[in-house]
Structure formats: C-alpha cells, structure tokens
C-alpha cells in the first residue's frame, strides 16, 4: 500500500482521535454533580456488573519534550505517599456505593510514569483496593512502564498482584532522536525489561513507538523496527506524533521545520508498517499492530474489540471508574474528568469529595453516534436500519463520504459504511466526516492534532 500525496494533502486536517465520543473539547459546560455521577456509575455497574479501573499516576523524573500527556515532573519521591493516600481516599468514595465487594475486570495504571512509584507504594495502593474486590477470572491488568524507572521488583510485585500485561515506552531506539526529545533511556534498558517480563511470566508485552517525532528520519524508523524484530513484543502501539504546542508547552521547543509532516510523515508510517508486517504483525484498529495469536488480535477478528479511555481492549465494561488527577470516568451515558492540578486534586479528595471538574451527559442521539464511531474504530465497519433514528442522525452527513468513496477509502451501500485497507490510515477523518458534533462546531482555536 502506498499512500498517495494527493490524499495526504487532502485529508491532513485537525480531527479528533475519538478516545471518547463526544470528545472532551465538545463536552457540555454543565458539570455533573457528584451524586449524578455516582448514580450513573452505579447504574452502569448494575446493568453489566464489572469495573474497568484506571489509575492515573502523574509523576515523571524528567520531561520528554514531545510528551502530550498529563504529567508532573519532579525528582522528589516524597510526593508518592500523599498521592497514594489521596487515590485510596477517592476509591473509598466509590467503594461505599457497593453493598458487597465489586467485581474488577480491567485495571490499568497510566501516567505520567506509574513506575515512578516504589514497588511498595504500588503494592500498598493496589492491595488496599483489590483485597476488597472480586477479581474476574478473565481479568486484564496492565501498566505503562518507563524503561528508565522500572526495575525487576516492580515487575514481580505487580505480577503477584495479577498484572500480566506490560506496556513499555520505547518511542524510537536511535540515540540522536532520544536525545533530541530528552528521553532518557537506552536499548539495554528496554531489552532487560522485556526479558525480565517474560521470565517473570507476563503474557503480553506491548511497545509504544511513535512516527513523526521531531527530527525523525526513515533510518530511525528502520532501526526501531530492527530492534522490534529482535525483541518480538506481542503488541505495538505505533502512534502518530501529536503536535499540540498550544496544550504541551515543551513541544514549543520544536519549530514546524523540525517536525515531519504530510508526505514525509506518512512515509515514516508506511515504512514502519511495511517492516512490522514483514515481521508478522497485523494492523488492527487505529495505530495498533499485533502478532496473530495476541488476545487483542483474536478479539478484533471476532468483532469483539472495544475502545475506551485506556485505548483498545478485548474487555467490554460499561462502568469505567478513573482515579487520580486528570483521569476520565465513563458510565456509557456520562463522562467525568478529575481536576488536573495534583495539589488541588489531593485537597478536594482529602475533604471527602470527588474532584470532578468536567463532564458530559450523553443524549440518546450521542449514544447512538458513539456506537457507530466505535464500530468504525474497532470493526472497520458500521451499519444501521434504513428506518431508524440512526439513519436520521447520519443522513445529513453522508454526502461527506462521497469524496472518500471516490478516493477508495470507504465503501458505502445499503446503510453500511466499510473502511478499506487504504482507508484505515484515514480512520479519524472518516469518523469526523459523519460526526454531527464535529461537523457543526467551528472553532477559532486549535482543538485537535492533525490526522497525519
Ligand atoms: C504516559 S506515556 C507512557 C508511560 C511512561 N511515562 C513512558 O513515557 O514510558 C504514554 C504514551 O503516550 C505516547 N505519547 C506521549 N506523547 C505523545 C505525543 N505527543 N504524540 C503521540 N504519542 C505520545 C507515548 O508513546 C507514551 O509511551
Ligand atoms: S513520555 Fe512518559 S516519561 Fe516522558 S514526560 Fe511523558 S509521561 Fe513522562
């Protein structure tokens, strides 16, 4: 597959990444109250028992200048204990909503850098929560590991708590790129982490890698692919570098000339994709590559893959509870986001309140639309009955697909939209083209990263 330059210039627009629908910039201004959210969360749990728990651990020792995540840079490890205390206090508010031990299906530690925390603090956090829950026999527990701060004790402690998936932040292996983005790590650290994970018994190792990083050239992508061929992680998240300098001040260190864009960026993607496929990885959904036997690949092929704030998952849970600064909870019909500022987050929680600062109550039409966006993101296809509310909601935007049909990105017939192989690269554009909220909202300010 070769992505033509004309398509790249045509579709290289700022569009959402759809980790939620509606996406955060399109949430309403009215913030749900604590009671409204707790009721929505509990109803979601009662409808389909099982919790996906996300815990945001925001600290990192050094700032990677390309980073777009919510993080706090510090070398002071004195922050660990008060932060964990606050997260446990926040959890106690949720726990009080359940008369009996709730069922945990999925648990993800994200950041920031979860392994900034010592193994003993992580153990204190997780055993306090998990000892008072029922853990689903098919649970999926995963965490994000920075190679520079993760040691063997982290791996063993988390394994003993039920973690079987590790996601390692690799990004690129070339020393000059790592230096340019101030990413302090070595290939040896990634190699050790991968090997220890396998020795200890982790069943899935994911690498996060990025194309389009500042100064990145094809040789850097091929060196990274060569390293991958040697280490054979089970899964790869091959992210497009999101250049969002209005949100991430450290990205202002790069000028637009430093950052590959348009054709030069898509060439990095094409090269990476070709090399990964030659190693037996299969592209699934947006950004992801998996070995054939990987669980996520199996669930994709069975049409069961799901996407939530934690990314792609093979577990569908209606009730997503999120703890920690900036994290986002989801009850299927309501989203809430926590305060981002660490000290304010802790203060509010220590007063016994949930630190909700944003949220959105989905309308029935939005919930329907969310289903179609998720279908496109997870199954490459969606359809609806000809006489239905869905048909009425989508109809005004269908002409937006005409050009994409002509360009061979999608097929549209009999109320079914199906994304072609070529179209998978433009999945965000395809979703945006039928998204009523995106189409009807015009903003002077930048909101989203470019599609390519
Ligand atoms: C919270 S970090 C992972 C954990 C740990 N802090 C680390 O860096 O290894 C999550 C992932 O987001 C991705 N990421 C961060 N900033 C990004 C950006 N501007 N564009 C694309 N991906 C980005 C990186 O691949 C990173 O591994
Ligand atoms: S990429 Fe990871 S380690 Fe680097 S600043 Fe962002 S969250 Fe922290």
The ranges assigned to domains in the chain are 1-22+363-452, 24-321
Q: Which atom of ligand 2 is nearest to the CA of 63?
A: 5
Q: Is the CB of 56 under 6 A from ligand 2?
A: no
Query: Does residue 385 contact residue 379 with C-beta atoms inside 8 Å?
Result: no
- Cα→Cα distances 115→120, 161, 196, 337, Å: 11, 15, 15, 23
Give 169 Cα–ligand 1 centroid separation in angstroms.
7
> Is 206 a residue whose pLDDT tops 70?
yes
Q: Is the CB of 113 under 6 A from ligand 2?
A: yes
User: At CB < 8 A and 24+ separation, what contacts does 414-421 make?
Assistant: 414/383, 415/383, 415/384, 415/385, 415/386, 415/391, 416/381, 416/382, 416/383, 417/376, 417/381, 417/382, 417/383, 418/380, 418/381, 419/376, 419/380, 419/381, 421/1
Query: What's the pLDDT at 174?
Result: 97
> Is 304 a residue whose pLDDT tops 70?
yes
Query: What's the pLDDT at 370?
Result: 94
Give 110 Cα–ligand 1 centroid separation in angstroms.
10
Q: What is the mean pLDDT of the chain?
A: 94
Give 63 Cα–ligand 2 centroid separation in angstroms.
6
> Is 447 a residue whose pLDDT tops 70?
no
> Is 246 a residue whose pLDDT tops 90?
no
2 pLDDT band (50/70/90 cuts)?
low
- Is the torsion defined by CA of 251, 254, 257, 260 positive or negative? negative
452 pLDDT band (50/70/90 cuts)?
low
For ligand 1, atom 6, the nearest C-alpha belongs to 113
* Most confident stretch, 214-218, 265-269, 423-427: 214-218
Percentage of the residues of the chain whose pLDDT score is greater than 90: 79
Give 222 Cα–ligand 1 centroid separation in angstroms.
20
Ligand nearest to the CA of 170: 1
For 1-22+363-452, CATH number out of 2.60.40.10, 3.30.530.20, 3.20.20.60, 1.10.10.920 equals 1.10.10.920
Which burial class, exposed, middle or buried, applies to 197 when counting CB atoms under 10 A from its CB (0-12, 13-18, 19+)?
Answer: buried
> Is 71 a residue whose pLDDT tops 80?
yes
**pLDDT tens-digit readout, 14-59:** 888 888 899 998 898 899 999 999 999 999 999 999 999 999 999 9
Give 34 Cα–ligand 2 centroid separation in angstroms.
30
**pLDDT tens-digit readout, 132-184:** 999 999 999 999 999 999 999 999 999 999 999 999 999 999 999 999 999 99
335 pLDDT band (50/70/90 cuts)?
very high
Give 230 Cα–ligand 1 centroid separation in angstroms.
22
pLDDT (average), residues 73-85: 98
Give the Cα-Cα-Cα angle 346, 164, 136 (nearest 5 degrees).
80
117 pLDDT band (50/70/90 cuts)?
very high
98 pLDDT band (50/70/90 cuts)?
very high
Q: Which atom of ligand 1 is nearest to the CA of 66?
A: 19
pLDDT (average), residues 345-353: 98
pLDDT (average), residues 240-258: 88
Give 434 Cα–ligand 2 centroid separation in angstroms.
33
**Residues within 6 Å of ligand 1 by CB:** 60, 66-69, 110-113, 144, 146, 169, 171, 208, 210, 239, 241-242
> Is 1 a residue whose pLDDT tops 60?
no
**pLDDT tens-digit readout, 267-279:** 999 999 999 999 9
Query: Does residue 56 contact residue 325 with C-beta atoms inside 8 Å?
Result: yes
**pLDDT tens-digit readout, 353-406:** 999 999 999 999 999 999 999 999 999 999 999 998 888 888 899 999 999 999
Q: Is the CB of 146 under 6 A from ligand 2?
A: yes
The fold adopted by the segment(s) 24-321 is: pyruvate-formate lyase- activating enzyme (3.80.30)
Percentage of the residues of the chain whose pLDDT score is greater than 70: 97
Q: Which atom of ligand 1 is nearest to the CA of 242?
A: 20
Ligand 1 pocket test target in 67, 74, 224 with most atoms within 8 Å of CB? 67
Ligand 2 pocket test target in 56, 59, 68, 71 with most atoms within 8 Å of CB? 71
Query: What's the pLDDT at 12?
Result: 80
Q: What is the pTM of this model?
A: 0.95
Say how far apart CA 345 and CA 121 lie, in whole Å. Answer: 19
Q: Which atom of ligand 1 is nearest to the CA of 237?
A: 25
Query: What's the pLDDT at 11?
Result: 87
Ligand 2 pocket test target in 58, 60, 144, 251 with most atoms within 8 Å of CB? 60
Query: What's the pLDDT at 435?
Result: 92
pLDDT (average), residues 331-351: 97
Q: Which atom of ligand 1 is nearest to the CA of 169?
A: 9
- Is the torsion defined by CA of 245, 249, 251, 254 positive or negative? positive
């Amino acid at each position: 597959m070769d992505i033509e330059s004309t398509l790249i210039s045509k579709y290289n627009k700022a569009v959402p990444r759809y980790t939620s629908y509606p996406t955060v910039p399109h949430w309403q201004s009215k913030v749900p109250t604590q009671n409204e959210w707790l009721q929505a969360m509990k109803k979601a749990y009662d409808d389909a028992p099982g919790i996906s728990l996300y815990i945001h651990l925001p600290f990192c020792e050094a700032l990677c200048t390309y980073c777009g995540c919510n993080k706090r840079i510090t070398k002071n490890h004195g922050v660990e204990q008060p932060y964990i205390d606050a997260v446990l206090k926040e959890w106690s508010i949720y726990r009080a909503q359940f008369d009996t031990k709730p069922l945990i299906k999925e648990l993800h530690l994200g950041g920031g850098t979860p392994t900034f925390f010592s193994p003993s603090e992580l153990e204190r956090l997780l055993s306090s929560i998990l000892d008072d829950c029922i853990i689903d026999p098919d649970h999926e527990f995963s965490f994000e590991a920075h190679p520079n701060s993760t040691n063997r004790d982290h791996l063993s402690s988390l394994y003993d708590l039920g973690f079987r998936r590790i996601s390692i932040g690799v990004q690129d292996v070339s020393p000059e790129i790592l230096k340019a983005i101030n990413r302090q790590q070595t290939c040896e650290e990634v190699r050790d982490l991968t090997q220890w994970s396998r020795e200890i018994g982790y069943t899935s190792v994911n690498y996060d890698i990025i194309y389009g990083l500042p100064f990145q050239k094809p040789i850097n992508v091929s060196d990274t692919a060569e390293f991958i061929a040697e280490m054979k992680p089970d899964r790869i998240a091959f992210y497009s570098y999101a250049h969002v300098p209005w949100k991430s001040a450290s990205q202002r260190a790069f000028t637009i000339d430093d950052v590959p864009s348009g054709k030069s960026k898509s060439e990095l993607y094409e090269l990476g994709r070709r090399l990964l496929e030659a190693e037996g990885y299969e592209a699934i959904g947006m950004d992801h590559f998996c070995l054939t036997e990987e669980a996520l690949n199996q669930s994709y092929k069975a049409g069961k893959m799901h996407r939530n704030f934690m990314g792609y998952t093979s577990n569908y849970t209606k009730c997503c509870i999120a703890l920690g600064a900036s994290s986002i909870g989801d009850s299927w019909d309501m989203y809430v986001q926590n305060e981002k500022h660490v000290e304010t987050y802790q203060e509010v929680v220590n007063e016994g309140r949930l630190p909700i600062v944003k949220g959105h109550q989905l309308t029935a039409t939005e919930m329907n639309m969310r289903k179609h966006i998720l279908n496109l993101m997870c199954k490459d296809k969606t359809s609806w009955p000809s006489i239905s509310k869905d048909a009425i909601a989508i109809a005004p935007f269908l002409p937006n697909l005409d050009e994409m049909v002509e360009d061979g990105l999608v097929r549209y017939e009999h109320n079914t939209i199906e994304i072609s192989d070529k179209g998978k690269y433009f999945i965000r554009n395809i979703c945006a083209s039928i998204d009523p909220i995106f189409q009807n909202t015009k903003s002077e300010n930048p909101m989203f990263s470019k599609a390519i």
